[in-house]
């Protein structure tokens, strides 16, 4: 468990990964430990501690849509008289 926490901390501090990248790696680790929980039930205490590591919160970027004039500008840009 301390090894996994150290790995996740190293991702952010030393490698400069974002919280999203950290959460993605944590998801992969959790997936492996869920598999291990069926294969090695004797280690369930350790597995439960790893599965309990929380994901880090991060800001989600907002999806912006094109306005009507922007859409019309995109459609007007290509030369529609040729097939290219």
Does a structural domain hold residue 45?
yes
pTM of the model: 0.66
Domain total for the chain? 1
Would you say residue 40 has pLDDT above 80?
yes
Rounded-to-integer distance, Cα 30 and Cα 72, Å: 47
Question: Given this model, what pLDDT does residue 59 score?
Answer: 81
Average pLDDT over residues 57-82: 85
Question: Given this model, what pLDDT does residue 46 score?
Answer: 92
Residue 21 belongs to domain spanning:
2-57
Q: Are 30 and 51 in contact (CB under 8 A)?
A: yes
The torsion region of residue 28 among left (phi > 0), alpha (psi -120 to 50) and beta comes to alpha
> With pLDDT > 90 as the criterion, what percentage of the chain qualifies?
67
């Amino acid at each position: 468990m301390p090894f996994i926490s150290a790995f996740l901390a190293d991702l952010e501090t030393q490698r400069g990964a974002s919280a999203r990248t950290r959460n993605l790696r944590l998801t992969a680790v959790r997936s492996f430990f869920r598999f291990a929980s069926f294969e090695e039930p004797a280690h369930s205490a350790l597995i439960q501690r790893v599965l309990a590591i929380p994901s880090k919160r991060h800001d989600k970027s907002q999806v912006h849509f094109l306005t009507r004039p922007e859409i019309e500008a995109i459609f007007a840009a290509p030369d529609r008289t040729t097939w290219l």
